[in-house]
Amino acid sequence: MIMDLQSIKNRFGIIGNSPSLNHALNVAVQVANTDLSVLINGESGVGKEVFSQIIHALSSRKHNPFIAVNCGAIPEGTIDSELFGHEKGSFTGAVESRKGYFETVNGGTIFLDEIGEMPLGTQARLLRVLEAGEYIRVGSSKVQKTDVRVIAATNKDLLELTHKGKFREDLYYRLNTVPIRVPALRDRKEDILLLFRKFTSDFSERYKSSSIQLQNDAKDILLHYNWPGNVRELKNIAEQISVLSKEKDINADQLAAFLPEQNTSRLPALSAGPGAVSQAEFANEREILYKLFFDMKKDVNELKKMFFDLVQNPSVGAHVPMYTQEPGNLGSIKEISPNIHNTINANPSVIYKNENGNGIQQHEEVEESLSILEKEKELIIKALKKHRGKRRDASVDLGISERTLYRKLKEYDIEHL
């Protein structure tokens, strides 16, 4: 099986020996000689179409037609006609009858890439083909038969789409008879340097130029890059360096210039919908609030310490000027009376009790409010007052968009100030 697997890799130009890649290839080889439907899962750029070609080439249909169809590239209004054909006059522009892919590829294999982009109506037609081998041309009432093996591929979570009503659950289970997951490039790091060397070597042979060599620090960067575009992105980077680099011995700094900056944030993306906030706006607001709370916490702790010192030694209060921070304004601090009895409400997290006017007998500490919503509402009100109700200026001061500010005014029921 090892020799057979290696010969398949050589035949289809597959580079790599990672266990996850070998497992996916083994599944493709085992299912090839059947007529079972196959669903290939994997991120964009991992080479899903190559797996469909392997399955067809090793099947009993190998001498019959093979066609690859990108469901996401065909407009919704014409995809039924493309797949199942149409009759003359069935719609505007249908000047003659036309065969669809399921008719022209009869006896062969059809590869439906980006199956998650297929409209729901077309999904129902496809389900009929998979279950009974029957279809009807657009504008016709005649049922036709076809014998086509369907291999589908997607970079989306189809099961999640079924829960959202965007993909038929019965079609999902019919397609997913044999699932094959093609690993992402970052999950097969041992193959990255092999692939890079292959791509640069092919380029140098094609254009009769010197091949690129990587220094050790450059190899480390290559291995730790996330590769969201997978093998396709790696090939593009290898060819860019081969064309644009003046040096053939590449170090880390030279390589980094060809790699796009990546956002390392692992924050969950907010779902779209009424009142949804973009990821960028959410991150911006979060950073502002976190900085505010950290600064406020620090100032509150300093005030606590100052009051505790005065409790321990009241005579110090007569000589130490005391300051308090205006609520919601980190940059505005004002002096208050050194008389401790006038500072009872300066810090709401500490309550001082004066019994019989003979000095402080005890104090009680309570936890201050750390509610993000309360602090956010407080900041919004203060910004509006500062800018005399001008929302545009207030939104700039808060570091959020005017649309986000308007939404929050409604959310917190803040009247126009």
What is the per-residue pLDDT across 113-145, written as a single tens digit (0 to 9) for each?
A: 999 999 999 999 999 999 999 999 999 999 999
The answer to whether the 186-256 and 372-411 domains have the same CATH topology is no
Model-level pTM greater than 0.85?
Answer: no
Question: Would you say 59 and 149 are in contact if contact means Cβ atoms under 8 Å apart?
Answer: yes
pLDDT for 290 equals 56
- Architecture of the domain spanning 2-183: 3-Layer(aba) Sandwich (3.40)
Q: CA–CA separation, 20 vs 227, rounded Å?
A: 17
Which one is predicted more confidently, 336 or 85? 85
Going from N- to C-terminal start, the domains of the chain cover: 2-183, 186-256, 286-365, 372-411
| Multiple choice CATH, 186-256, 1.10.8.60, 3.30.360.10, 3.40.640.10, 3.40.50.300 | 1.10.8.60
CA 361 and chain centroid, separation? 58
Q: Which long-range contacts (CB under 8 A, 24 or more apart) does 221-224 make?
A: 221/252, 221/255, 221/256, 221/259, 222/192, 222/193, 222/196, 222/255, 223/189, 223/192, 223/193
Q: CA–CA separation, 213 vs 222, rounded Å?
A: 13
Mean pLDDT of 272-297: 54
The CB density around residue 321, as the number of other CB atoms within 10 Å, is 9
Which one is predicted more confidently, 324 or 369? 369
- Architecture of the domain spanning 372-411: Orthogonal Bundle (1.10)
Mean pLDDT of 247-255: 92
What's the pLDDT band for 417 if we cut at 50, 70, 90? low
Q: How many C-alpha atoms does 409 have within 13 Å on its Cβ side?
A: 20
- What share of the chain in percent tops pLDDT 70? 75
Say which amino acid occupies 24: A
Q: What are the tokens at 58?
A: 């090793």
Spell 240-268 as b/e; 16+ CB within 10 A means b. Answer: ebbeeeeeeebebebbeeebeeeeeeeee
